[in-house]
């Protein structure tokens, strides 16, 4: 396992590699990062550039990363990919709507569990999934303040 960082104040990403696959992106506040900040891999450098665009409030072009989706159930993989490919910068969706997009409109809670285990925040934008009335609900890692910050950065609604 190898770790490198991409950082653009006020955000940081810890890239956790398992061989050639990106196992996890740890989203943290920049002030909480210690260690080497310069990404070592070409993928890390591309992610660094996209993150810099993102913190400026502009839609980034996230690089194609070797994300490890094989470890997820078919439902979880489908939900994560639907979110990644369909909910744009500055938009939000609800857990229920995402469940319906995945073919199971009664699975809002299951979608919530998938969001809680999303190992690729920002690239798979779980912060854009909100409660049915638009309220901000759980966000692993740095919690609701991070979720609110990300939505406001994107110009989206943050209740």
Q: How many Å is the Cα radius of gyration of the chain?
A: 15
73's CB contacts (< 8 A; 6+ apart) are: none
In the numeric block, which tokens belong to residue 52?
Answer: 């810099």
Count the helix, strand and coil residues of the chain and give each as a percent rounded to the nearest 5: 40, 20, 45
Question: Of 35, 40, 63, nearest to 122 (Cα)?
Answer: 63
Question: Of 101, 110, 68, 108, nearest to 82 (Cα)?
Answer: 101
In the numeric block, which tokens belong to residue 1?
Answer: 């396992």
**Which amino acids are annotated catalytic?**
126
Strands 21-29 and 11-18: antiparallel
């Amino acid at each position: 396992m190898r770790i490198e960082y991409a950082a653009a104040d006020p955000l940081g990403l810890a890239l956790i590699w398992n061989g050639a696959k990106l196992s996890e992106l740890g989203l943290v506040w920049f002030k909480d990062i210690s260690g080497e900040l310069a990404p070592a891999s070409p993928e890390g450098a591309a992610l660094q550039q996209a993150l810099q665009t993102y913190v400026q409030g502009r839609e980034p072009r996230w690089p194609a990363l070797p994300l490890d989706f094989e470890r997820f159930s078919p439902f979880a993989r489908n939900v994560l990919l639907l979110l990644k490919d369909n909910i744009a910068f500055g938009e939000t969706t609800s857990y229920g709507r995402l469940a319906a997009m995945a073919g199971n409109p009664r699975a809002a809670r299951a979608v919530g569990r998938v969001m809680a285990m999303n190992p690729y925040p920002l690239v798979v934008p779980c912060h854009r999934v909100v409660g049915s009335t638009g309220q901000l609900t759980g966000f692993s890692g740095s919690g609701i303040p991070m979720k609110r910050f990300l939505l406001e950065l994107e110009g989206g609604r943050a209740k």
